[in-house]
């Protein structure tokens, strides 16, 4: 990705979004006194649940945007609001600049079928249909002819690694394979955005890892925009270009994995990321210092600015000398043992200097 993603117009632009469940929900966002309450106090006062509260963010073109949080933090409600599977209480949502909240039924159908396809945890496959017909189903609904949809389905089936299983029925597949069918079905309609609602949480860890790799690979190959819900921090860190961390209906921090792990916004986030192996998330860019002299710029192993601290530790240990951080043939800094250890120890840059 050569062009910085934030220079492009967003796919989704969400502003001051609220979803309140309960009696006379509409008054909550409009009443500052109620809007400021914690979910527990709001429930006690009004009987309402503030599932999503005053949330604003952009989903940038080509990124994997992860919505992460514990159970009940509002992830599913938030993502379902994007295509109005759940009707928001207030706020605004645009897709490619088009107002989602003013779309009529036909336009909404088009949005869900063509532009923002959802991959669910319970993939809802049709049990009596073969893999290929399940994958082609979305195209069938769109009125695409049989030959054309079969050709497209075959292409996508191959892409997600289901070759040879085309004629099986879902009941004859493992959980991971079924999830691949769900993924292929969403991909078949070639949506602008894929929305994943905890798609892998029912899978066992090894298969889950496989599916994560699959998503990373698909994303690398196609650059498709993805919104991914998970309550699993490791999954979020593996997949996310950026992560929105939710708590009680609000986004408490939105940033890259490195920002979230390296500069937690508050105690809650700090606690959340406490056990993350920092050297696998933080990059050399965080740990490097300016070059001291010409000799330093010309010796030592070379590492890229976005290499992980873990890989720089290996390079430095092998060479027994600081590493040069090379960006497009130019030495932009140096990382040494002390700085790398400081990252592992969770000391800030100031901590290193001191």
Ligand X SMILES: Nc1ncnc2c1ncn2[C@@H]1O[C@H](COP(=O)(O)OP(=O)(O)OP(=O)(O)O)[C@@H](O)[C@H]1O
Q: Are the C-beta atoms of residues 65 and 242 closer than 8 Å to each other?
A: yes
String marking each residue 2-21 x if it binds ligand X according to CB under 6 A? -------------------x
- Report the number of secondary-structure helices (H) and strands (E) in the chain: 18, 13
Q: Are the C-beta atoms of residues 225 and 192 closer than 8 Å to each other?
A: yes
Give the residue with the Cβ less far from ligand X, 74 or 170.
74
Q: Is 230 in the site for ligand X (CB under 6 A)?
A: no
Using alpha carbons only, give the angle 267, 274, 212 rounded to the nearest 5 degrees.
120
Q: Is 69 in the site for ligand X (CB under 6 A)?
A: yes
Contact pick of 77, 178, 179, 253 for ligand X (by CB under 6 A): 77
Beta bridge partners of 302: 324
Q: Which stretch binds ligand X (CB under 6 A): 67-75, 96-104, 178-186, 328-336?
A: 67-75
Among positions 185-214, residues that touch ligand X (CB under 6 A) are none
Q: Looking at the chain, which runs of residues are DSSP E strands? A: 12-21, 49-59, 64-69, 90-95, 98-99, 116-119, 193-197, 225-230, 242-247, 250-255, 302-303, 323-327, 330-335
Minimum distance of ligand X from residue 292's CB (angstroms):
49
Minimum distance of ligand X from residue 196's CB (angstroms):
12
- What are the helix (H) ranges across 191-348? 205-222, 233-239, 257-262, 267-272, 278-281, 284-287, 294-298, 309-319, 337-345
d(CA 160, CA 54): 37
Q: Is 76 in the site for ligand X (CB under 6 A)?
A: yes
Contact pick of 231, 270, 285, 289 for ligand X (by CB under 6 A): 231
Q: Is 225 in the site for ligand X (CB under 6 A)?
A: no
Q: Which stretch binds ligand X (CB under 6 A): 71-79, 220-228, 280-288, 296-304?
A: 71-79
Give the residue with the Cβ less far from ligand X, 50 or 138.
50
Q: Are the C-beta atoms of residues 17 and 51 closer than 8 Å to each other?
A: no
Structure token pair of residue 203 = 């899978």
Q: Is 53 in the site for ligand X (CB under 6 A)?
A: no
Q: Is 102 in the site for ligand X (CB under 6 A)?
A: no
Contact pick of 42, 53, 65, 73 for ligand X (by CB under 6 A): 73
Q: Is 62 in the site for ligand X (CB under 6 A)?
A: no
- What residues make contact with ligand X under the rule CB under 6 A? 21, 49, 51, 69, 71-77, 231
């Amino acid at each position: 990705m050569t062009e910085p993603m934030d220079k492009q117009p967003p796919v989704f632009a969400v502003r001051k979004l609220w979803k309140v469940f309960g009696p006379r929900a509409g008054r909550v966002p409009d009443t500052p006194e109620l809007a400021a309450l914690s979910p527990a106090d709001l429930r006690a006062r009004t009987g309402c649940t503030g599932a999503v509260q005053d949330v604003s963010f952009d989903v940038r073109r080509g990124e994997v945007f992860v919505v992460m949080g514990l159970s009940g933090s509002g992830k599913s409600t938030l993502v379902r609001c994007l295509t109005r599977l759940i009707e928001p209480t207030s706020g605004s949502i645009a897709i490619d600049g088009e107002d989602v909240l003013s779309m009529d039924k036909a336009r909404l159908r088009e949005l869900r079928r063509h532009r923002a396809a959802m991959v669910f945890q319970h993939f809802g496959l049709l049990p009596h249909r073969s893999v290929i017909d399940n994958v082609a189903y979305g195209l069938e609904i769109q009125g695409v002819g049989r030959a054309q949809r079969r050709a497209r389905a075959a292409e996508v089936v191959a892409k997600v690694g289901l070759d040879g299983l085309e004629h099986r029925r879902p009941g004859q597949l493992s959980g991971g394979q079924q999830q691949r069918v769900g993924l292929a079905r969403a991909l078949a309609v070639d949506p602008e955005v894929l929305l994943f609602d905890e798609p892998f949480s029912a899978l066992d860890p090894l298969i889950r890892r496989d599916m994560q790799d699959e998503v990373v690979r698909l994303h690398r190959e196609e650059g498709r925009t993805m919104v991914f819900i998970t309550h699993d921090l490791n999954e979020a860190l593996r997949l996310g270009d950026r992560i929105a961390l939710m708590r009680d209906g609000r986004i408490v921090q939105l940033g890259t994995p490195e920002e979230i792990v390296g500069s937690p916004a508050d105690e809650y986030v700090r606690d959340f990321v406490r056990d993350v192996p920092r050297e696998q998330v933080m990059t050399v860019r965080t740990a490097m210092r300016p070059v001291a002299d010409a000799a330093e710029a010309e010796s030592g192993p070379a590492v890229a600015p976005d290499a992980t601290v873990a890989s720089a530790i290996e390079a430095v240990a092998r060479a027994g000398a600081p590493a040069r951080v090379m960006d497009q043939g130019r030495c932009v800094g140096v990382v040494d043992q002390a700085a790398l250890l400081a990252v592992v120890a969770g000391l800030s840059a100031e901590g290193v200097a001191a």
